[in-house]
Amino acid sequence: MSLVGRLLVILFALFIAILIASIALAVGVMVPDFVTVTTDPVEHFQFIAFSFLATNIVMAAAFVPALVLVGLAEAFDIRSVFYYAFGGGAVALVAFFGSDIRFEETTDMPPVAFGLQLVVAAGIIAGFVYWIIAGRNAGRWKNSGGSVRF
């Protein structure tokens, strides 16, 4: 696989990982208070849509730190699932503390319990998803002669 192909795989994997992390974060925010919300399905959909949008905005702050970790992994041929999981958690913490959005201020619902733990869990999920898609083959493009297994 050429360098250009690998870059496309990396960008696709980052996009999917951030998407899955935002879904996990939206579900983590909503599920504990699902019973106390009204039974109106439109309100449920609005809450999911807006929390999904808000977490995507926050996760946009994670893109550059994630690229740094991916660059290190590609340069040093790091393929460990633990590297990507712990790196995803660390990147999520950087994005959480680097953004101005806090879960306690986003809705009129009761404050989200364990917001920091939810963010780290979403980051770990994102790291794992990235490892499944692209991390397992980190650095193989340099010495594979053009063939990388998917």
Domain range for 94 is 3-143
Radius of gyration for the chain, computed over Cα atoms and rounded to the nearest angstrom: 17
pLDDT in tens, 55-84: 667 667 788 889 999 999 988 888 899 999
Q: How far is CA 91 from CA 3, 64, 97, 134, 144, in A?
A: 25, 9, 10, 17, 29
Question: Is position 149 within any domain?
Answer: no
Look at residue 139 and tell me if it is in a domain.
Answer: yes
Query: Whole-angstrom Cα distance, residue 79 to residue 83?
Result: 8
> Does residue 81 lie in a domain region?
yes
Domain count, the chain: 1
Asked if residue 148 is part of any domain, the answer here is: no
Residue 58 placed within a domain: yes
Q: Determine the Cα–Cα distance for residues 119 and 138; give it in Å rounded to an integer.
A: 25
- Specify if 21 maps to a domain: yes
Report CA torsion sign: 67, 59, 123, 116.
positive
Answer yes or no: is 150 within a domain: no
Global pTM reads: 0.79
**pLDDT tens string 106-145:** 555 556 667 788 889 999 999 999 999 998 888 777 776 5
